[in-house]
Structure formats: C-alpha cells, structure tokens
Amino acid sequence: MKFKLFKLNYVLFIASSLFFSSCVTLFGKKQTIKVDSNPTGAKVYAGSKFIGITPCYHTSKKAKSTLTFEKDGYQSKTIETSTQMRGAIWWNWLFTGPIGLLVDAPYWNKYNSTYYQTNLSKLPQPKVYTPIKTPFIATESYASPYILNQIPLSHSNLELRPKIIYKKYKSAVFMIYTKDGEGIAQGSGFFITSSGIAVSNYHVFKGSLKGEEIIKLSTGKTYKIKEVLAYSERYDYILFKVNGDYFNYIPVTKRGYEIGDEVYAIGSPKGLENTLSNGLISQEYKDYYIQISVPIDHGSSGGALINSYGEVIGITSGGRDDSGANLNFARDIRAIFTTKY
C-alpha cells in the first residue's frame, strides 16, 4: 500500500513538474512581427521556415535569430533579428530547476523589435561582349612558305570514276556556318591536309563575327577555326587551320587543266550537304577565274572542284543568277600560292 502511494505521488510530482516547468511553452505570449523589404515581393524565411512574401506579418512563440530574404534578380540577404531571453525562464529555473529549462528551451528567446526591414541589392548583370569582326584589316595576306610546304601536291596518272571520287572525298568537304550579327549564313569548305589546313571562299567569311564560325563535317562532328593562315578578297579564297587532326583531305593538283576537261563539285548548295555534281571547264579568265558548267548554288561557295584524277583544282565560288545558261565559276586553287607551280 505504501509502495503504491509512493508511486502515485511520484507520478503526480513528475506531471506537475512538467506542467509548471512549461509555463512559457503553454502560457507564453506569442509575438507578431512585421517583415518588409525594398523592393517588396521577397520570400522570407525565419531560420529555415518560410513565413511569407514581403510585406508580411509573422506570429510565433519561437523567435529566430535570423531572417533571410530571397527575390529573383536580387542577391539573397540574411539579417540578424536581435532577440533576448524571456523573463519567465528564470521562474522555471527557480521552481522546477533544469527540467523546466529543458522543456522551454525552444522558446527561451523573444524578438526585441516588432518590425524588420532590409534593402536588397540587384544581382550584377552579366557583361555582354560584342564579337569582333573577322580580322581582315588588309584584303590580301599571303601564306608563308612554311605553310605552303605542308600542303601535299599530286600528279596522279589514275583516272577515277565519279562514284569513287565521291566516296573517297565526301568526308573531306564540310559545311561552314557564320554569323554577322543579323543572321546565320552557310557555305562550304574542304581540307587540303590531314592536319586540318582547309580552304574556302573569302566572301563566305567576309563580315562575319570572329570566333562564331562553326565547321560541321558529314559525320556530324563540329569544330572551331584555330587560325587564319592567308586570305585574298581579290582572288576570293581563305586558308585556315581547324582545331583537330587526322582529317580526310583532297590533294591539290600539280597539273594544269584545259577547256573541255570534265570536273566534279562537292559542296552544300542550299544546305543540301555534300552534293555531287559534274560538268566541264567552259573557259578561264584572269584573276584565277574558271568558268564551269557544273551546277552549283548558294551554299556551294567554298566547295571543292575536283578533276577526274581526284585532285582539287579549284574552289567553287558562285554563278550568274540572271542567266539560265548555267554560268558558274570557281577560283583556281593555285591562287593560294604566291607563284604558280
């Protein structure tokens, strides 16, 4: 009997201790604070708890030591709230000792102020860099002997069928995409060394934005231009190095050509990638112009003109849009050399 009475008294003691020790928890006064920001519309977190969007009010017994503001386009900001301990905590310590302090631990503090406001700073705007125009300060820049000596020359005695020429060299011809600040243009080009030295027309690059050019192979792989090696507006060619190595290439011919020779063009007219067409050399003119009956179109510019031996003899460059007589032209590949060979 005495044991049961003792047990009952013990339970009542514990229960009353917990009840009276949590006077702040049970009877503590809630606080309402106003939170604002400049500009308004920022999300606010008291500690890690979301409490609203400024301007807003927050009511709680728990005073958090920090308020964090977040708004799109602005830097997040955390401010200290300046809290102080509630006076009732000391009554808990006096009457209930450590038990009361432990029970009321989350509610020890209250806000010193009922209004918190902060100014938010805009995120720094990213710098917009205006691309530089291609560095064609002069209209003529010849290749050095060191560069020219890297270009393989060919004088084959074996004539090839058109399908063999295409299968052998279609992967050596690529599409070129350039930007001029208003839109994207497309042309063609081709490799003349396995190390990435390539050729196209000067007018394909003229006025384009430096560093914005994209070289796209028939495999789908894309590359950037590493360096411009030579160019000529007069002879409408540009010689450049593509980042990479072990490219398929078309050897440059050592032989000449005659009117009536059959020739083949590989390029991308109207974006039709690596199209093969054929025709004859119709005439030749000064400034390395070759008139051809090979069908080409916009987008073919910079493509390869190949003889029946599988050697490149020219760069397809354009035609007469006002004629139905198939008056098209290429530039003799020998124009890239300072002297004829």
Q: What does DSSP say about strands 262-267 and 275-285: parallel, antiparallel, or unpaired? A: antiparallel
Mean pLDDT for the stretch of residues 203-220: 86
The domain that holds 145 is classified in CATH as 2.40.10.120
Determine, yes or no, domain membership for 81. Answer: yes
Please tell me whether residues 93 and 173 are part of one structural domain.
no
Residue 340 confidence class, pLDDT cut points 50, 70, 90? very low
Identify whether 134 is part of a domain. no
Q: Find the helix or strand (DSSP H, E) in which 287 lies.
A: none
> Looking at the structure, do residues 35 and 111 belong to the same domain, yes or no?
yes
Could you give the CA distance from residue 43 to residue 49 in angstroms, rounded to a whole number?
11
Burial of 301 (0-12, 13-18, 19+ CB in 10 A): buried
Question: In 10 A of CB 320, how many CB atoms?
Answer: 11
Please check whether residues 166 and 255 belong to one and the same domain.
yes
Of 86, 119, 152, the position where a domain reaches its end is 119
Residues 233 and 202: their CA atoms lie apart, in Å, by 6
Does this model's pTM top 0.75? My answer is no
Q: Which residue range is the domain that position 100 belongs to?
A: 2-119
96 and 165 together in one domain: no
Pairwise pLDDT comparison (41 vs 21), residue with the higher score: 41
pLDDT tens for residues 290-329?
Answer: 999 998 888 888 999 999 999 999 999 887 777 667 788 9
| 100 in the same domain as 52 | yes
Tell me what the mean pLDDT of segment 226-237 comes to: 91
Torsion of CA 195, 201, 203, 206, to 10 degrees: 10
**Strand ranges (E), 61-209:** 66-70, 77-80, 83-85, 109-111, 115-119, 140-141, 153-154, 173-179, 184-191, 197-200
Does one domain contain both 101 and 228? no
Strand partners, 262: 280
The pLDDT of residue 211 is 81
Q: Which of 24-33, 119-128, 195-204, 263-272 has the lowest mean pLDDT?
A: 24-33
The answer for residues whose C-beta is within 8 angstroms of residue 118's C-beta and 6 or more apart is 37, 38, 67, 69, 77, 79
Measure the CA–CA gap between 223 and 166, rounded to whole angstroms: 22
272 in any annotated domain: yes
Mean pLDDT of 205-220: 86
Could you tell me if 108 and 231 lie in one domain?
no
Domain identity same for 162 and 258? yes
40 and 113 co-located in one domain:
yes
The structural domain count of the chain equals 2
Q: Would the pLDDT of 20 be above 50?
A: no
Of 64, 90, 119, which residue sits at a domain end? Answer: 119
The rounded radius of gyration (Å) of the Cα atoms in the chain is: 40
Mean pLDDT (the chain) is: 80
- Asked if residue 18 is part of any domain, the answer here is yes
* 126 located within any domain: no
For residue 73, being part of any structural domain is answered with yes
- The residues, any chain, with a CB within 8 Å of residue 253's CB and separated by 6 or more, are 153, 154, 155, 307, 309, 311, 312, 313, 333
The answer to whether position 326 is within a domain reads: yes
State whether the Cα torsion 55-52-25-104 is positive or negative: negative
- Single out the residue in 119, 148, 181 at which a domain terminates: 119
Q: Do both 301 and 211 map to the same domain?
A: yes
84 vs 140, residue with greater confidence: 140
Q: What is the structure's pLDDT at 61?
A: 67
Which pLDDT belongs to residue 318? Answer: 84
Burial class (CB in 10 A: 0-12, 13-18, 19+), 104: buried
Residue with tokens 């010849």: 142
Q: 161 and 266: one domain?
A: yes
Q: Is the pLDDT of residue 239 over 60?
A: yes
Nearest to 257 by CA among 190, 320, 306, 194: 306
Is residue 157 a part of any domain in this protein? yes
Q: Does the pLDDT value for residue 257 go beyond 60? A: yes
Tens-place pLDDT, residues 63-120: 677 889 899 888 888 888 765 555 554 555 455 555 554 555 554 456 667 788 899 9
The whole-angstrom separation of Cα 173 and Cα 41 is 56
Say whether both 178 and 53 belong to one domain: no
Tokens linked to 216? 């796209």
Range with lowest mean pLDDT among 19-28, 81-90, 134-143, 190-199: 19-28
- Top pLDDT among 172 and 79 is at 172
Q: What is the pLDDT of residue 133?
A: 45
